[in-house]
């Protein structure tokens, strides 16, 4: 099964509020985004947004330029259906973040919750970082949440890479400055404890 087929199957066979990473609202992401005091026209991308309600909450907060990218067409369709007419004001991109062609120097904020940690191969991670460097504006922000070192080794049945902030810093390289980090305990709808690591980086150049 390809990685795309894996995610299609996940979203075709589970209700959005029954998947392991489900949270009614991504409170930490929302709090951190609010703290950035971005212009409401800032270009925001939610990488691997899936069926998360972050886009709903950002629209409700008045953000007008939101892109949701995901590998799964089904996840995007479910999210669009939930948003109804508000979906028309969002840019939807179906693609793999390690290969998709993103606009150059475009985004003010790149948000990723529980996507980067699935890239267990260094080459995939390198392609992700290359896309990030291509698409994020200088001084742009990265809010990234991955499994932390104490989290289980798998998520959605797939092996994950677990991170400390130091390790993320090393992978992202010298163009990113760590501004904030925080652990967040997530309990899946099935009762499994997963410790996430949230980091806010700012691009320096
Ligand atoms: C664990 S879910 C997290 C969803 C959402 N970010 C959240 O916090 O609710 C991972 C998401 O990333 C997507 N995904 C996995 N690998 C991807 C890739 N290489 N490129 C784009 N999306 C990917 C999956 O389809 C899925 O929607």
Centroid of chain to Cα 56: 15
Structural domain contains residue 184: yes
20 in any annotated domain: no
In a domain, 153, yes or no: no
pLDDT at residue 176, rounded to an integer: 98
The whole-number pLDDT of residue 16 equals: 93
Looking from the CA of residue 97, the nearest atom of ligand 1 is 20
Q: Are 77 and 49 in contact (CB under 8 A)?
A: no
For 64, how many CA atoms within 13 A lie in the half-sphere containing its CB? 3
CA dist 78 and 194 (Å) reads: 25
Is 70 a member of any domain? yes
Give a yes or no: residue 126 inside a domain: yes
Task: Give the pLDDT score at 47.
Answer: 98
Q: What is the pLDDT of residue 36?
A: 98
The verdict on residue 71 lying in a domain is yes
Query: Mean pLDDT, 10 residues at a time, over the chain (205 residues)?
Result: 96 95 97 98 98 98 98 98 98 98 98 98 98 98 98 94 98 97 96 97 92
Is the CB of residue 116 below 6 angstroms from any atom belonging to ligand 1?
Answer: no
Nearest CA to ligand 1 atom 1: 114
Domain CATH code at residue 143? 3.40.50.150
Its pTM surpasses 0.95: yes
> What's the CA-to-centroid distance between 70 and ligand 1, angstroms?
6
Total number of domains in the chain: 1
Q: What is the residue range of 199's domain?
A: 3-14+26-148+159-203
Residue 21 is assigned to a structural domain of this protein: no
Among candidates 41, 36, 39, 43, which has minimal Cα distance to 69? Answer: 43
- Which residues share a beta bridge with 136? 107
Q: Looking at the domain assignment, is residue 154 inside a domain? A: no
Judge if the beta carbon of residue 53 lies within 6 A of ligand 1.
no
What is the residue whose two structure tokens read 């991308």? 45
pLDDT value at residue 7: 98
């Amino acid at each position: 099964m390809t990685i795309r087929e894996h995610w299609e199957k996940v979203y075709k066979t589970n209700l959005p509020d029954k998947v392991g990473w489900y949270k009614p609202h991504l409170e930490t992401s929302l709090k951190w985004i609010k703290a950035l005091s971005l212009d409401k026209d800032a270009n925001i991308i939610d990488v691997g947004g899936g069926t998360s309600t972050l886009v709903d909450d950002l629209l409700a907060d008045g953000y007008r330029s939101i892109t949701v990218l995901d590998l799964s067409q089904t996840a995007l369709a479910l999210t669009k259906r939930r948003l109804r007419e508000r979906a028309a004001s969002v840019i939807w991109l179906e693609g793999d973040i390690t290969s998709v062609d993103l606009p150059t120097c475009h985004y003010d904020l790149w948000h990723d919750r529980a996507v980067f940690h699935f890239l267990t191969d260094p080459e995939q991670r390198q392609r992700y970082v290359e896309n990030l460097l291509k698409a994020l504006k200088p001084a742009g922000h990265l809010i990234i949440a991955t499994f932390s070192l104490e989290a289980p080794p798998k998520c959605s049945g797939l092996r994950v890479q677990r991170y400390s902030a130091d390790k993320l810093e090393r992978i992202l390289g010298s163009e990113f400055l760590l501004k904030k980090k925080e652990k967040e305990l997530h309990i899946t709808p099935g009762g499994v404890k997963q410790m996430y690591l949230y980091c806010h980086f700012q691009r320096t150049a």
